[in-house]
Amino acid sequence: MDWPAELKALDKELDAQEREAETLVAGLTEADGGWRPAENSWSVAECLDHLATANRVYVAAMREPAIRARQQGRLRRRPALPGFFGGLFVRSLEPPPGALSKLKAPGKIRPRTAPPLSDAFAAFMKSQRDSRELLREFADLDLASITFPNPFISGLRFSLATGLHVIVAHNKRHLWQAWRVLEKAGRSTPPADARRSA
């Protein structure tokens, strides 16, 4: 399929984030992955575990409306971009975190306490594959007009286009956070491609 530019960009970013995560964990021990810079902060493993859970919840919420839209023949009519308010929310997730994005994660997507690094990494990579599968399966739909219920805020609906951009921006934020954890541990300086989000 000859994808529109904004869908190619989303797919490319999801792929880049998978490679960034591989670079992030390369050479880390389970102890490295579980180290926290402060008692109330997250480890690298917890950052990845949080992303895996959040992505899984978002993809699950988006899939059923996408299937219904497919049955209704709601094919692409405009670019798959967030609207004004959706765009504001997406930008609020971009690193470094601002006042809004420093709010605590909803309980259903808080990371497990001290998950094994290997397990958290595998779960994140699976969530990435599921996100890319959703994008590719429904790329021909009118993603900017098809909505789904926000799984965390009752009564709020996002377009599927916004949801996909949220996943990418949220990944950026917590991969950025994980690199900062390694820096504080004196374990690593982010490579150039990882610093693109800083």
Question: What is the spatial distance between Cα 157 and Cα 163, in angstroms, rounded to a whole number?
Answer: 10
pTM of this prediction? 0.89
What's the average pLDDT block by block, 10 residues per block, for the chain (198 residues)? 89 97 95 92 96 96 98 97 92 76 67 92 98 97 97 90 97 95 79 48
> Residue 15: how many CA atoms within 13 Å on its side-chain side?
8
Q: For position 37, which CATH number holds? A: 1.20.120.450
| Number of domains the chain contains | 1
Share of the chain above pLDDT 90, in %: 73
Q: What is the pLDDT of residues 49-74, one digit of tens each?
A: 999 999 999 999 999 999 999 999 99
CA nearest 167: which of 66, 53, 19?
53
Boundaries of domain holding 57: 5-197
What is the phi/psi pair of residue 67, to 5°? -65, -45
CA nearest 167: which of 13, 28, 3?
13
Which residues are within 8 A (CB) of 70 and not within 5 positions of it... i.e. 6 or more apart?
138, 141
Q: What is the pLDDT of residues 15-27, one digit of tens each?
A: 999 999 999 999 9
